Amino acid sequence: DIQMTQSPSSLSASVGDRVTITCRASQGIGNYLAWYQQKPGKVPKLLIDAASTLQSGVPSRFSGSGSGTDFTLTISSLQPEDVAIYYCQKYNSAPWTFGQGTKVEIK
Amino acid sequence: QVQLVQSGAEVKKPGASVKVSCKASGYTFTNFYLHWVRQAPGQGLEWMGIFNPSVGSAVLAQKFQGRVTMTSDTSTSTVYMELNSLRSEDTAVYYCARALPAYISAFYYWGQGTLVTVSS
């Protein structure tokens, strides 16, 4: 099975900072990569699919890039409401594996 | 609007079974795959399997083969996930999630989650 590895596992940044999370697949997955945001005590929410397509209603400070094995989620200007755990997920084939998550906090 | 409403929290003893339901509304039930995902306390998301309501078939993660059964009732637009031989490490929040009308799809809508606690 393809493994999904996120880095870092956690980060602390100041409001307004640019934040980058990376996700690496152990084999190529094309652009079949999604990013989810899970706020404390809440249900995961789809932010981005097809590696870079922002879902309706998601703030434009979020962006995704990459293809093949290396992907990036960027928050251009971190806001307090962005405190959450972010997960990448491959969906090109079974199993629909998630990365281990990246916890984003405010410094 | 699309809604996935799951059954309430359960407390089970080790060795028992649990059946979690996910009632769909706001769309044509048989046109969309449904997935099950679980999250142990303080842990990440773990994919369990995908269910095709139009034919009533499932593909399960290897870890859950032989222990998980997915079924549906099309008359009530409800999907069920039954997990057998429960152990303490099965304590988790279980989510159903809806994809697009395609096998290759991310998860666009999620149920509210069902907490299953396994404790003697």
Burial class (CB in 10 A: 0-12, 13-18, 19+), A103: middle
pLDDT tens digit sequence for B2-34: 999 999 999 999 999 999 999 999 999 999 999
| CA nearest to A91, candidates A81, A99, A83, A79 | A99
Q: What is the mean pLDDT of residues A5-26?
A: 98
**Which residue is it, tokens 């990013």?**
A35
pLDDT digits (tens, 9 = 90+) for B61-103: 999 999 999 999 999 999 999 999 999 999 999 999 999 888 8
C-alpha span between B99 and A43 (Å, rounded): 15
Name which of A91, A97, A99 is nearest B106 (Cβ-Cβ). A91
Q: Does B108 touch chain A (CB under 8 A)?
A: yes
Count of residues making up chain A: 107
Peptide bond into A8 cis (omega under 30): yes
Whose CA is closest to B7, among B18, B25, B22? B22
* Beta carbons of A98 and A88 less than 8 angstroms apart: yes
CA–chain centroid gap for B81, Å, is 5
Q: Is B27 on the interface with A (CB under 8 A)?
A: no
